[in-house]
């Protein structure tokens, strides 16, 4: 009997073709985040699950799928939606999609940086509202990047890609994280390792590229925001709960920092309402990997992970507990 592969939401056809070579593919027809009961029902009898970042995968879901479940392939590099110890403890392999979205996410982080520092979103809103305007030297003046310090929280692949782009704009690079980067990475980027509190105090831009863990949840809280320069900007393209959004809104309202640009949100897809009322905030709906090429590559990598496991091979990008 063909092995049952459940895809929780629509993916590109090229990924489905990979999956069809190794099993019977069922794509959930709703094309929206499934409720917990819907997800449990959808995965019953599955040998493989291709999951999205909004799908909560835990021991209960594995139990609902049944003992034949072999692999959960997340179409994302982050896997905070998966209880990895609980799932792998039941003999199920977990895989993700690192590497293929590095450049797209780094490009977006720089795009957000330019939008918030040069007030591009604010300027477009003015024109779309058909407000009168004339050029003068004080009109909608923003902040230049040359000579400024970019502080990166998490100098992994995406953080490094952002640093390379920032250096092309004339920025210097500092970073913090659980451990220092390799000496050759520091040398290439001319990057200084700083303790987190010093980075927050000294950076002109703080860009978040860390995974969501219990240690990084609300890493940027009221105290962290208070430590930042009043002219500093915060960029988040990692995971929403790394930032306490209510604390961020308050800090922006009170002028504790200069602005923020967010691609991800604490209670996604909900956005803290106070942020939407502020002109010094840029918000976009989780577009970090949103290029045709990248999203296709992510889905295809997830499919290759499934195909490998179901045929007894080593998956390309397995998550180890």
**Residue 34's CATH number:** 3.40.50.720
| pLDDT score at 217 | 97
Number of domains in the chain: 2
Same-domain status, 166 and 261:
yes
3-class secondary structure, 23: coil
Token representation of residue 114: 């330019």
Same-domain status, 136 and 277:
yes
| pLDDT score at 1 | 57
Same-domain status, 113 and 227:
yes
268 is catalytic: yes
Distance, CA of 110 to CA of 292 (rounded, Å): 19
Strand partners, 5: 25, 48
Catalytic one among 9, 119, 209, 239? 239
Same-domain status, 173 and 278:
yes
| Listed residue (211, 199, 145, 141) closest to 175, CA to CA | 199
Same-domain status, 153 and 180:
yes
Low-confidence spans in the chain with pLDDT less than 50: none
41 is catalytic: no
Strands 318-319 and 93-95: antiparallel
Residues in contact with 237: Cβ distance below 8 Å, sequence separation at least 6, in sequence order = 105, 108, 109, 112, 158, 207, 208, 209, 263, 264, 288
Token representation of residue 33: 């985040």
Distance, CA of 16 to CA of 132 (rounded, Å): 51
Same-domain status, 113 and 41:
no
Question: Measured on CA atoms in the order 210, 252, 247, 223, is the torsion positive or negative?
Answer: positive
Same-domain status, 35 and 135:
no
Distance, CA of 79 to CA of 112 (rounded, Å): 24
Same-domain status, 155 and 239:
yes
Same-domain status, 72 and 220:
no
3-class secondary structure, 298: helix
| DSSP annotation of 263 | S
Tell me how crowded residue 196 is: count the other CB atoms within 10 A of its CB: 15
Q: Identify the burial level of 273 via C-beta atoms within 10 angstroms of its C-beta, where 0-12 means exposed, 13-18 middle and 19 or more buried.
A: exposed
Same-domain status, 75 and 182:
no
Same-domain status, 122 and 51:
no
Range of the domain at 296: 4-98+292-319
245 is catalytic: no
Distance, CA of 255 to CA of 243 (rounded, Å): 17
Catalytic one among 47, 286, 295, 304? 286
Question: Measured on CA atoms in the order 149, 150, 154, 156, is the torsion positive or negative?
Answer: negative
Same-domain status, 219 and 298:
no
Token representation of residue 184: 């050759």
What pTM does this model have? 0.94
Catalytic one among 122, 198, 222, 268? 268
């Amino acid at each position: 009997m063909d092995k049952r592969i459940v895809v929780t939401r629509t993916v590109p056809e090229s990924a489905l073709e990979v999956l069809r070579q190794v099993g019977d593919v069922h794509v959930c027809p709703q094309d929206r985040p499934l409720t917990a009961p819907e997800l449990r029902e959808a995965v019953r009898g599955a040998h493989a699950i291709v999951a999205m970042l909004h799908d909560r995968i835990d021991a209960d879901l594995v139990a609902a799928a049944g003992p034949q479940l072999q692999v959960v392939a997340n179409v994302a590099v982050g896997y905070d939606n998966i209880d990895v110890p609980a799932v792998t403890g039941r003999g199920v392999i977990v895989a993700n999609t690192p590497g293929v979205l590095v450049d797209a996410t780094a490009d977006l982080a720089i795009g957000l940086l330019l939008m918030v520092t040069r007030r591009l979103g604010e300027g477009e809103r003015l024109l779309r509202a058909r407000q009168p305007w004339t050029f003068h030297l004080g009109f909608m003046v923003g902040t230049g990047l040359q000579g400024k310090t970019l502080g990166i929280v998490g100098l992994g692949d995406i953080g490094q890609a952002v640093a390379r782009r920032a250096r092309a704009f004339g920025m210097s690079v500092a970073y913090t994280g659980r451990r220092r980067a390799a000496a050759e990475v520091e040398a290439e980027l001319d990057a200084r390792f700083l303790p987190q509190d010093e980075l927050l105090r000294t950076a002109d831009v703080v860009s978040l590229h860390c995974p969501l863990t219990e240690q990084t949840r609300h890493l940027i809280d009221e105290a962290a925001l208070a430590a930042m320069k009043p002219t500093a900007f915060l960029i988040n393209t990692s995971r929403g709960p790394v930032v306490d959004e209510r604390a961020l809104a308050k800090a922006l309202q009170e002028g504790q920092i200069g602005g923020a640009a967010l691609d991800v949100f604490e209670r996604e897809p909900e956005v803290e309402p106070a942020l939407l009322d502020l002109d010094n905030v840029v918000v976009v709906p989780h577009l970090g990997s949103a290029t045709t090429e990248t999203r296709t590559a992510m889905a295809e990598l997830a499919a290759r992970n499934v195909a490998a496991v179901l045929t007894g091979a080593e998956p390309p990008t397995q998550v180890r507990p």
